[in-house]
Amino acid sequence: MTAAEAPTPDTAPHLSAAARGDAPRVGVLGDGQLARMMAPAAVELGVELRLLAGSAEASAARVIPRTTLGDYRSVEDVTAFAADVDVVTFDHEHVPAEVLDALTAQGTPLHPGPEALLYAQDKLAMRRAVEQLGLPNPHWAAVHTVAELRDFGDDTGWPVVLKTPRGGYDGKGVRIIDSSASASAAQDWFDRAAEQGTGLLAEEKIPFTRELSAQVARSAVGEIRAYPVVESTQTDGVCDIVVAPAPRSHPTHMEDAASIARLIAEKLGVTGMLAVELFEITDGERAGVYVNELAMRPHNSGHWSMDGAVTGQFEQHLRAVLGLPLGSTAPIGGPGGRTVMKNLFGASASDLHAGVPEAARHAPEAKIHLYGKEPRPGRKVGHVNVVLAPEPGEVAVAAAELDRAQSRALHAAALITGTTTDD
């Protein structure tokens, strides 16, 4: 597998805007919170952000003035939208191949490009690419029948993680098959996969100690900057809490995680933000880090950087897709600093804003980010960040202070979402 050709500096998207004499124009496909959080960074950089949204009430459409209503799955809608932007980027990976091909034929710069985006869209393609790059995968196989699933499980051990190759996110498109006897429960998935002309991805249920995420930015001119590797805690398969940089870190594992993300960005030709989700095993013969999934866009595990790094991931993504010099990824709290990020999930509160005053009073150090989304149980509706710096004379944030910060972030989140009545 060879690296995609990096554009030369004289073809960087921002230079076409300079020749035109006005602000660079970045078009975004996808109207969720990731597109929404690009807006403040675009304002600060003097970038004109344009959005293709399915609804005027969508999260991003509420804050991006230059919004066009249309369907990201429609070749006609997308090509018309992209006709006068300098570059198109994404807030999700689900744009159909025929739309990407039409944009390429139209000459619209895409970052990331279709050749790279494939590996974030298709988990089977991702597993094959990781294997070809010689990077650590869990044991895996493409399976097309219940019998093949049983063979895989009998060979690698039960339980087995079964995934749909495309369309899954936040725990969707994933199920745990506990035993050979229960494999037949997945027959409906195999039937749908057969209709779509693809198989399913079977993976060993790796005995990980914790989950990590390594993020890098790679620009349209090939520059790469890595963020500190973070620890991610999942609830029901969804990212819930992130601590950055990851505490209690095994130095070799952190170096390996960052190197894996850098290599994937280079060899797959990623432009923009790349998140590599990883499993860490700390003991035994299999100690090390293993690739879980890829995301080629800003990612939930990087929301901490909005307040906790010199350059947040949304600003960095815009810099990268425009070919601008990348910003520092250093933690605001210094080498020993930490940031705790806690997601907000829709719960009992119908008005999130009603809980903001109490959250701000109880945790004034918490930075609150709401997404303008109607609360529903389990739906991501915002996040809070608590940034920490070491006490004078200390080289790192103490474990007890990190625990207190996490408790304050959890309490602020609960007050906003209505999951506590504590005063």
Q: How far apart are CA 92 and CA 108, in angstroms?
A: 18
d(C-alpha 141, C-alpha 204), whole Å: 9
Spatial separation of the C-alpha atoms in residues 300 and 11, rounded to whole Å: 31
Place of tokens 């199920």: 175
Q: Is there a binding annotation on residue 293?
A: yes
Closest alpha carbon to 29 in 13, 6, 49: 49
What span, in angstroms and rounded, lies between the C-alpha atoms of 292 and 286? 15
Name the residue among 307, 326, 308 with its Cα closest to residue 317: 326
Annotated ligand binding at 267? The verdict is no
Residue type, 340: V
123 is in an annotated binding site: yes
Task: Give bridge partners of residue 102 from the DSSP assignment.
Answer: none
367 among annotated binding-site residues: no
5 is in an annotated binding site: no
* Residue 205 is labelled as binding a ligand: yes
Q: Is 172 annotated as a binding residue?
A: no
Instruction: Give the number of other Cβ atoms within 10 Å of residue 423's Cβ.
Output: 7
Contact between 384 and 414 under an 8 Å Cβ cutoff? The reply is no
Question: Starting from the edge strand earliest in sequence, which strands make up the sheet with 174-177, in order?
Answer: 140-143, 200-204, 160-163, 174-177
**Total residue count of the chain as it appears in this document:** 423
Residue 333 in contact with residue 38, Cβ under 8 Å?
A: no
Distance, CA of 371 to CA of 271 (rounded, Å):
25
Distance, in Å, from the CA atom of 195 to the CA atom of 158, rounded to the nearest integer, reads: 27
What region, left, alpha or beta, does residue 248 occupy, with left being phi > 0 and alpha being psi -120 to 50 degrees? left
Rounded Cα distance between 355 and 360, Å, is: 9
Binding residues for ATP: 123, 163, 203-206, 211, 292-293
Binding residues: 123, 163, 203-206, 211, 292-293
